[in-house]
Structure 1
Amino acid sequence: MPPSETTPLLNGNGSHSNTTFIGRVKTLIAAEGEPSWIASYRFFLFGSYLNLFLLFVPLSVISHQFNWDAALRFSFSFIAIIPLAKLLGEATEQMSAKLGQTLAGLLNASFGNAVEIIVGIAALLQGELRIVQTSMLGSILSNLLLVLGCSFLAAGFKFKESNFQVTAAQASSSLMTLACITLVIPAAYQSTLLANLASDDQSGLLVISRGTALLLLGVYVAYLVFQLKTHAYLFEAEEQEAEQPHMSVVAAGVALLGTTVVTSFCADFLVASIEETAERYSIPKPFIGLILLPIVANAAEHVTSVWMAMKGQMELTIGICVGSSIQIATFVIPLLVIVGWIAGPGHELTLFFANFETISLFVSVFLVNTLIQDGKSNYMEGLMLVTLYLVIALAFWVS
């Protein structure tokens, strides 16, 4: 066999190998100074033991195709989304390392909550409006209470007290308060005006929801400009050593798109099995939407946030937890309202959440605002946040 055909793909650095077909392909697919595609995908697929759970992706497909027990279909799809969420976060991070701060911010805005968007659209198109609402609310509560609380706890066991930029934290929490208020207004409208009129007409509520959704999207764009451009200095963390990217930009982009497609199928299978699973095993649907789905969707963020807190990077922790909640409240939920608007009758999503859900969000935002206003954190504050999350989870379990 000719030597050119036996030249190892990763080791062929000689002048002769560069003239071979393999050498030309390597030149095309790997930009100078970037990892090759093979090295990129080796890292992407084998860089974490969590990727072993990707075995549940084909199991999710098989169980759905052969209509296995609802609990198996739900469990397989549930577990499959965990490593997919991690891979989405990894691909986004690898692209961000090369494209700079502004484009990185836009990427994180688009793909940081990709799992929530995919699960939300899948549920919306299947007419599961309550699952959409509870899963979105659950993502906000999970980030604000569980993830931030665990981060404060983890940092508190290592440091007596942690400090962070109070102005940036307050700006973020104030925007979160605004988003919370925009959910209170539709609830107040539904509870008072329509109750007094004894009417089932939803036209007014739809107008309020759609108008508010458009305004919130505008506010979110303004927040991105505020965070990335005009007041970027408020959100800058301490300088860290730049890490070498493990994936090329093109390879990471392809991985991002591919993982998004696979996640969309698993999310569709997951949503399709919720109804039967909830009925057969007496699990409240609000509990599935509010507690279980967000834990899966935010799995990567949970680990990253706690890890950053233990390294003393509290600005990054606040940015992950509160920033992700802001994305859900001012970008993802309004986006789903507009998608429901386009999808037409049977898919029309409003910003009217049940009174109990609205109150749960309000008290959560109030507690977070109270705890971060001094720019310091400790383990006791983390314990308070986690406790409130467990109380809300218990209430939804018996609802």
Structure 2
Amino acid sequence: MKKHLSTILLAIFFVFSAIAHYAHLNPILQFVVSAIAVVLVAGFLGRATESVAHYAGQRLGGFLNATFGNAAELIIAIMLLREGLYDMVKASLTGSIIGNLLLVLGLSIFAGGVKHKIQNFNVALANMNGSLMIVAVIALFVPALFLNTHSITPTEVDTLSLIVAGLLIAAYVAWLIFSMITHKKYLEDVKDPKAPEDHEEPKWSKNKSILFLVIATVMTAFVSEWLVGTLETFTTDFGFSELFVGAFVVAIIGNAAEHSAAIMLAMKNKIGASVEIAVGSSLQIALFVAPVLIFVSFFLGNTMDIVFTTLELVAIMVSVFIAKSIIQDGSTNWYEGLLLLVTYIILGVSFYLV
């Protein structure tokens, strides 16, 4: 009954969102309906990805979850680029990174820790993730430093942004080869000998899971476009800054798939998969999605530089610092999850007051 209810709600809000958009109803109503539709579609996307992950294996499954979970954010960002809202794109990227590292990871560790006192995962994977997060911070920090110290011109910043974007994409592809092929066993998750064997069968067959994954991604593209069309009015009417809307409103809505999947896995004592989704998603945003958007903007005729504001850089660095310190020992508990959530709330209140 619960499964049917979620499907019915998804269909209702998807259709209602389409009607609100094409009938040009009140923009605030469009925003609310579209936001709910995005969350419901993201939940459907998360369930389809989790089902595919069962057949693909935990590491590849975590990667697929992060990838398709980021589909909403990538599509929303491309729509924002077409509208020329570059500042909101950067804010949404910032929000995605800190949202995954603090909110998604924090909720997962907290929920999993409440049910299971101590949860363990691969220390080597934790350390590699930490190193990659630092590389992402360096890639964002260096161009901003050189521009703000007037060492290079804005035109040269565009060139530097494209070069850095290319290097980050290469580094991300190399990471996939390293983690999925050459060092796959080295990074395999830790199995708790006391934990019961998981014999839970997926809800859908392999072919049906793949089909639903494709359908969910297409639906995400539509509802994301409808949502973006309402953001400017929403921001103006409520007096929110683009920074807050991009970093928290858009990011929280876009992260819905990761929220649901990561928390469910953590409560099943699969914290390694949860970390893979949350941290892996942040890395994918920083090392792949952001660079891809820079190239997309270049082909659209106006390159978006990789220079983030001081506030955005500080938020990302704070998130990376606390997340790395918590996951580096390969062990988590509910209190560490609470610390991540407290940090997220501090940043959220600060961005709201900007």
Give the TM-score, by structure 1 length. Answer: 0.81
2:183 maps to a residue whose letter is: H
- Measure the CA separation in 1 of the matches of 2:346 and 2:93: 18
- Measure the CA separation in 2 of the matches of 1:113 and 1:58: 23
Does residue 254 of structure 1 match 2:206? Answer: no
Q: Is the CA contact (8 Å cut-off) linking 1:162 and 1:312 kept in structure 2? A: yes
1:121-200 alignment runs, 5 A limit: 121-193=78-150
1:1-399 alignment runs, 5 A limit: 46=3, 49=6, 52-99=9-56, 104=61, 107-108=64-65, 110-193=67-150, 201-233=153-185, 234-238=187-191, 241=198, 243-345=200-302, 348-399=303-354
1:226 maps to a residue whose letter is: F
- Measure the CA separation in 2 of the matches of 1:311 and 1:259: 24
The verdict on how the C-alpha distance between 1:238 and 1:340 changes in structure 2, with shifts beyond 3 A counting, is same
The verdict on how the C-alpha distance between 1:304 and 1:109 changes in structure 2, with shifts beyond 3 A counting, is closer
Question: What secondary structure is seen at the aligned counterpart in 1 of 2:150?
Answer: helix
Question: What secondary structure is seen at the aligned counterpart in 1 of 2:167?
Answer: helix
- Measure the CA separation in 1 of the matches of 2:142 and 2:79: 27
1:227 maps to a residue whose letter is: S
Greater Rg, structure 1 or structure 2?
A: 1
- Give 1:94 deviation, angstroms: 3.1
- Measure the CA separation in 2 of the matches of 1:141 and 1:50: 30
2:189 maps to a residue whose letter is: E
**RMSD in angstroms over aligned alpha carbons?**
2.4
- Give 1:106 deviation, angstroms: 6.6
Structure 1: segments with no counterpart, 5+ residues: 1-42
Q: Is the CA contact (8 Å cut-off) linking 1:51 and 1:83 kept in structure 2? A: no
The verdict on how the C-alpha distance between 1:111 and 1:357 changes in structure 2, with shifts beyond 3 A counting, is same
Deviations along 1:17-66, one digit per CA (max 9) or x if unpaired, are: xxxxxxxxxxxxxxxxxxxxxxxxxx9x9456365143111221222222
1:185 maps to a residue whose letter is: V
Q: Is the CA contact (8 Å cut-off) linking 2:123 and 2:328 kept in structure 1? A: yes
Higher RCO structure, 1 or 2 (CA under 8 Å, sep 6+): 2
- Identical-pair percentage: 36
Deviations along 1:152-204, one digit per CA (max 9) or x if unpaired, are: 2223323333322222111111101111110001111221126xx8xxx5221
- Measure the CA separation in 2 of the matches of 1:211 and 1:107: 27
- Give 1:255 deviation, angstroms: 3.0
2:299 maps to a residue whose letter is: I
- Measure the CA separation in 1 of the matches of 2:130 and 2:248: 22
The verdict on how the C-alpha distance between 1:262 and 1:344 changes in structure 2, with shifts beyond 3 A counting, is same
Deviations along 1:111-157, one digit per CA (max 9) or x if unpaired, are: 23111111111111121112211111111111101111122222332
- Measure the CA separation in 1 of the matches of 2:174 and 2:336: 31
1:236 maps to a residue whose letter is: D
